Amino acid sequence: MSDEPVMRTQVGIVGAGPAGLVLAHLLHLRGIDAVVLESRDRDYLEHRVRAGVLEQATVNLLKEMGVSERLEREALVHHGLELRFGGRRHRIALDELTGGRTITIYGQQEVVKDLIAARANAGAPLLFEVEDVRLEGVDSARPVLRFRHHGEQRELRCEAIAGCDGFHGICRDAVPSDVLTVHERVYPYAWLGILAEVAPSSDELIYCQHERGFALHSLRSPQLTRLYLQCDPGDRIESWPDQRIWDELHTRFACDGWELHEGPIVERGITPMRSFVAGPMQHGRLYLAGDAVHIVPATGAKGLNLAVADVRVLAAGLVRWFDEDDRSLLDAYSETCLRRVWRTQYFSWWMTTMLHRAPDDRDRFQANLQRAQLDYVTSSPAAATSLAENYVGFEHDVSERIV
């Protein structure tokens, strides 16, 4: 990219998370110019531990985009998951219930690594460590991104801007407050997540409901286990020494004939649980995607997948506009995406409330409902199918292939 203080591109993309990077590559494959601006450095993005479950449609898209070579070699394909409650194990056969669909375990930072490499190989602009990004003129025909890079003030003139800068980004604020409606639920619990250097104790994910709170067994590789515990949102990580974490995990996962393997904890953190939707997802020539406009509680494993689904719709709309001067898909962007967003919010809320302990449940009303719900899901093929088809995810909302 030129070092001139004023640059031009077709699409200015703020944020190099999964949303920004998938969008940039989809546009690149269709010959549309984009510049990606990212506030962090490359190393940070490539090592930030986030979610790790890819829906079938996400994997299919990454394959179609030609960025799945390592994924196909290293990722783990899962055909089922386990629900554990009352000290008993119940398998949900995802593939059998959904006509052969599966989920794929591959860490988000691995997806990000592959996409950054694809962008670098294409020689396409991706600027790390940009500072002080500002949006101007989003409701005009000439939106501009101003920012600082290596100490220099720069200006990027765009035809459209994609706000892919996550929940704490700045793009959402460019939509006037009387236009943007926010819907939010903050749950009275959080997740304490750890990454442990030890072989997983199960080949499949375990979602565990227990009277002391939810626990989740996941994995990243044959040598790396990812575990989560429901905790109080006010908890500090310092009040969870290793032994307390392992004791609590052993208690919640306890069941006959199964053992949890312990290993050195190499990463840990506490994440609040929230549902958040802001709409419309577009204003003038600004299009918001991914965590910038919606957060789902992690119980459904949907955050990354939803971000990818958004930008697939956005890319199709931008291609139609630039190639055919037809804005119809782009004008419908927000409406198209919000249908999937709300359906996914519902599923994520449903999984979350089924599995977590409600802290103020004095008469155990909630606990009894949860037990009834879990009994139903694990005994009725219709209920199990509903969980399975939502968990593996639905097809994307655009029919045409991008590549």
Supply the DSSP symbol for 298.
Answer: G
Answer yes or no whether residue 51 interacts with ligand APR by CB under 6 A: yes
At 214, list the tokens.
């939810």
CB 306 within 8 A of CB 296: yes
Binding-residue total with ligand APR (CB under 6 A):
28
Partner from ligand APR, ligand PHB, none contacting 307, C-beta within 5 to 8 A by type: ligand APR
Position among 11, 16, 75, 387 found at the interface with ligand APR (CB under 6 A): 16
CB 192 within 8 A of CB 318: no
Binding-residue total with ligand PHB (CB under 6 A):
10
Q: Which residues contact 308 (CB under 8 A, 6 or more apart)?
A: 18, 19, 22, 57, 58, 61
Half-sphere exposure of 288 (CA within 13 A, CB side): 31
Partner from ligand APR, ligand PHB, none contacting 218, C-beta within 5 to 8 A by type: ligand PHB
Answer yes or no whether residue 39 interacts with ligand APR by CB under 6 A: yes
Whichever of 22 and 51 has its CB closer to ligand PHB, that residue is 51
CB 298 within 8 A of CB 167: no
Position among 32, 111, 249, 307 found at the interface with ligand APR (CB under 6 A): 307
Helix pair angle (303-324, 56-64), 10° resolution: 40
Half-sphere exposure of 85 (CA within 13 A, CB side): 21
Position among 56, 108, 336, 344 found at the interface with ligand APR (CB under 6 A): 108
- How is 160-176 classified by DSSP, letter by letter? EEEE---TT-SGGGGS-
Answer yes or no whether residue 15 interacts with ligand APR by CB under 6 A: yes
Q: How far is the CB of 278 from ligand APR (least distance, A)?
A: 13
* CA 198 to mean position of chain CA atoms: 25
Partner from ligand PHB, ligand APR, none contacting 393, C-beta within 5 to 8 A by type: none
Answer yes or no whether residue 286 interacts with ligand PHB by CB under 6 A: no
Position among 8, 30, 50, 357 found at the interface with ligand APR (CB under 6 A): 50
Answer yes or no whether residue 18 interacts with ligand APR by CB under 6 A: yes
Supply the DSSP symbol for 142.
Answer: S
Helix, coil or strand: residue 55? coil
Partner from ligand PHB, ligand APR, none contacting 53, C-beta within 5 to 8 A by type: ligand PHB
Answer yes or no whether residue 52 interacts with ligand APR by CB under 6 A: no
- Enumerate long-range contacts of 263-267, CB under 8 Å, 24 or more apart: 263/196, 263/197, 263/198, 263/199, 263/225, 264/196, 264/197, 264/198, 265/194, 265/195, 265/196, 266/195, 266/196, 266/197, 267/49, 267/193, 267/194, 267/195
Q: How far is the CB of 39 from ligand APR (least distance, A)?
A: 4
Supply the DSSP symbol for 296.
Answer: -
Partner from ligand PHB, ligand APR, none contacting 275, C-beta within 5 to 8 A by type: none
Footprint of ligand PHB on 225-254 (CB under 6 A): 226
Footprint of ligand PHB on 146-205 (CB under 6 A): 205
Partner from ligand APR, ligand PHB, none contacting 392, C-beta within 5 to 8 A by type: none
| β-bridge partners, 6 | 155
Answer yes or no whether residue 393 interacts with ligand PHB by CB under 6 A: no
Whichever of 36 and 227 has its CB closer to ligand PHB, that residue is 227
Contact residues toward ligand APR (CB under 6 A) are 14-20, 37-40, 45, 50-51, 108, 130, 133, 164-166, 169-170, 290-292, 303-304, 307
Contact residues toward ligand PHB (CB under 6 A) are 51-53, 205, 216, 218, 226, 298-299, 301
